[in-house]
Amino acid sequence: HILYQTSNVEALKSVVREGLGMTLITTLALRETDHDMHYINLLNKNLPTFNIYLLTRQNVPLNDSQQAILQIIDDFINK
């Protein structure tokens, strides 16, 4: 059951820090200051897979920060 849903990653991590839940999160959302978080890499081949999509509006140009994020993702995928 989904009890809390947010697009604010820091708020989500705060919920976990308070012991009120757990979440699936990508390593891109983790920071050096998250040393108090316990995480488990889910690399087992028997686990279900899921797709994550990054959506933007087609007619809105990307700013420098958005372009940088896309480059980081592209570099990671094409290692």
pLDDT in tens, 1-38: 677 778 898 988 888 888 887 787 877 888 888 888 87
Cα–Cα distance for residue pair 13/41, rounded to 1 Å: 17
Answer yes or no: pTM beyond 0.75: no
- Contact between 21 and 4 (Cβ < 8 Å): yes
Cα–Cα distance for residue pair 30/35, rounded to 1 Å: 9
Residue type, 11: A
Quick check: 64 pLDDT over 80? yes
- pLDDT of the residue at 16: 85
What 8-state DSSP symbol labels residue 48? P
Domain tally, the chain: 1
Please report whether residue 49 resides in a domain. Answer: yes
Please report whether residue 46 resides in a domain. Answer: yes
**Helices vs. strands in the chain: H and E counts, helices first:** 2, 0
Quick check: 74 pLDDT over 70? yes
Residue type, 23: T
Please report whether residue 4 resides in a domain. Answer: no
Mean pLDDT, the chain, as a whole number? 80
Q: Which domain holds residue 15?
A: 9-77
